[in-house]
Chain A
Amino acid sequence: MSDSLIAITGDDFVLVAADTTHTRSIMVVKESGEDKIMELDSHKLLAASGDNGDRNAFCQYVQKNSALYRLRNGTPLSTRALANWTRRALADALRKHPYSANLLLAGYDASPTEGKPGKVSLYYIDYLASMQQLPFACQGYAGHFLLGLLDNGWRKGMTREEARELLDKCIEQLQTRFVLGAPKFAIKLVDKDGVHVIESADA
């Protein structure tokens, strides 16, 4: 709950931000440098929050299974298919034992037709494995502070600069109002050219 994840989509990109801290009760175990946005493949990002062990294990599980699919079938899974697979995997895990991982899955899919632009999508999957495709999303307490701001500021077809400005406002807002507002956020972007690291998690 104390982890913050934010994602904003444009027409042809998705911007994903995650805080870089690791806290345990009253203590900051790691104040920066924890990368919570995993690169599933060349054009997909999986940001995860929640219990550190569950988060790490689950993200790696999704990443490796995504790679396995690609190796077996010669082509990567689409974002939508992978999101549904991920949701199902989380639901199954949850029905075996308590599980705490909240996810934001963002990806770019090239168009099946040559020359046509591909599309980006963002999926919100919470720890109970409910899923929704959204234009922008938050995980953790961040949502309480930011969804109003995002509802107000988000437009369809935002440029990268506009999205980055909106994201910066969001981060600033968390730092102002959220007791656990981390100073450092890692930011990654996915578009037709793949994954770009805008702000590295490393201190």
Chain B
Amino acid sequence: YQRRVRDRHSTSFQMAAVSLNFLTDDGESHAPSLGLNAQLAPHFMVPQGNPQHFLATAHEGAAKADKLEFAHGTTTLAFKFNDGIVVAVDSRSTQGPYIASQSVKKVIEINPYLLGTMAGGAADCSFWERQLGRECRLYELRNKERISVAAASKILAGYCYSYKGYGLSMGTMVAGWDKTGPQLFYVDSDGSRLKGHKFSVGSGSTYAYGVLDRYYREDLSAEEACELGRRAIYHATHRDAYSGGTINVYHVKEDGWVKISADDMMTLHDRYTADAPN
């Protein structure tokens, strides 16, 4: 028989609600003696004081302007070539000066033959691209045919346009191969939708374009194209503070996309500088 304790200060996990007081306490020790006292389950021993306090104050003062500013801090690119489409992205997520993550998946696998990229608000991109995936599946069921990339990108652009002015932040590319061949569209939260053969989106895009524009050829081999994408993102991660982490490269082929590589940017840096003449 377990007596149910509804007391707010209890740290037992057998309660109806989990007490989160350990987040706000002033350092008084509530640590139970482990092992002998089975009634009190162990609770979180937080290493760095008070994370709630940290998050609340991380964007105060000088850093206040950085709070919730979605400046598309990222580098993503995609380009068409003779053998399909190469999509390459970095994986860094930043909140002002703070690097929140170095391992964000910025390529969203909408379905086995459609890829979406993420720049801007991570939640906006992943939610709406997932929603797009659902809509694409419904299209397939209703029409017994895969949806075209043009139609898929238009659905996404429609979502963005209907929320225009409400603060969605998305700079995304939709890449796929349909019956008209490989197709690439750029869609953003203004409701823009552009068809093209080469795009780079994000704060590091200008750096990526430099490498991408000058070394691009239509007749690149699949391996050369992937390396070009990888290299362009690498250069952007090197120069742009808001880009970094792992460089993920995908190749969209006629029968669907394939993930080619995931290289840590620092490893690539060592490799490329070792190869450099001086």
Give residues in A with beta carbon < 8 Å to B.
22, 26-27, 29-30, 33-34, 51-54, 56-57, 97-98
Q: A29 and B199: CB pair below 8 A?
A: yes
Contacts of B160 in A (CB 8 A): 53
Confirm or deny: B186 has a beta carbon within 8 angstroms of a beta carbon on chain A.
yes
In B129-174, the 8 Å CB interface with A consists of 157, 160-161, 164-165
Q: B191 and A57: CB pair below 8 A?
A: yes
Known interface pairs A53-B161, A53-B164. Does A22 touch B190 (Cβ–Cβ under 8 Å)? no
The majority secondary structure among interface residues of chain B is mixed
29 A-B residue pairs with CB within 8 Å: A22-B192, A22-B194, A26-B206, A27-B206, A29-B186, A29-B194, A30-B186, A30-B194, A30-B196, A33-B196, A51-B190, A51-B191, A52-B190, A52-B191, A52-B192, A52-B193, A52-B194, A53-B157, A53-B160, A53-B164, A53-B190, A53-B191, A53-B192, A53-B193, A54-B191, A57-B161, A57-B191, A97-B165, A98-B165
Contacts of A26 in B (CB 8 A): 206
Contacts of B246 in A (CB 8 A): none
Given pairs A51-B190, A52-B192, 14 additional interface contacts (CB within 8 A): A27-B206, A27-B209, A29-B186, A29-B194, A30-B186, A51-B191, A52-B193, A53-B157, A53-B190, A54-B191, A56-B191, A57-B161, A57-B191, A97-B165
Taking residues whose C-beta sits less than 8 angstroms from the other chain, chain B's interface range is: 10 to 19
Contacts of A57 in B (CB 8 A): 161, 191
Which residue in chain A gives the minimum CB-CB distance to B165? A97
Contacts of B186 in A (CB 8 A): 29-30
Contacts of A98 in B (CB 8 A): 165
In B185-229, the 8 Å CB interface with A consists of 186, 190-196, 199, 205-206, 209
Contacts of B196 in A (CB 8 A): 30, 33
Contacts of B205 in A (CB 8 A): 27
Which residue in chain B gives the minimum CB-CB distance to A51? B190
Give residues in B with beta carbon < 8 Å to A.
157, 160-161, 164-165, 186, 190-196, 199, 205-206, 209
Contacts of A54 in B (CB 8 A): 191
The residue among A26, A30, A34, A98 with the most chain B CB atoms within 10 A of its own CB is: A30
The majority secondary structure among interface residues of chain A is mixed
The 5 A-B pairs with the shortest beta carbon distances in the complex, nearest first, are A53-B191, A52-B192, A53-B190, A53-B192, A53-B161
Contacts of B206 in A (CB 8 A): 26-27
Contacts of A51 in B (CB 8 A): 190-191
Q: Quote the shortest CB–CB distance from A64 to chain B (angstroms).
A: 14
Which residue in chain A gives the minimum CB-CB distance to B166? A97
The residue among A22, A26, A51, A57 with the most chain B CB atoms within 10 A of its own CB is: A57
Contacts of B193 in A (CB 8 A): 52-53, 56
Cα-based distance from A113 to B157 in the complex (angstroms): 45
Q: Quote the shortest CB–CB distance from B70 to chain A (angstroms).
A: 15
Which residue in chain A gives the minimum CB-CB distance to B171? A24
Contacts of B164 in A (CB 8 A): 53
Q: Quote the shortest CB–CB distance from B115 to chain A (angstroms).
A: 19
Cα-based distance from A98 to B191 in the complex (angstroms): 14
Which residue in chain A gives the minimum CB-CB distance to B195? A33
Cα-based distance from A178 to B196 in the complex (angstroms): 25
Which residue in chain B gives the minimum CB-CB distance to A22? B194
The residue from B191, B194, B199 contacting A34, defined by CB atoms under 8 A apart: B194
Q: Quote the shortest CB–CB distance from A95 to chain B (angstroms).
A: 14
Contacts of B194 in A (CB 8 A): 22, 29-30, 34, 52
The residue among B161, B164, B165, B209 with the most chain A CB atoms within 10 A of its own CB is: B164
Which residue in chain A gives the minimum CB-CB distance to B196? A30
Contacts of B195 in A (CB 8 A): 33
Contacts of A97 in B (CB 8 A): 165
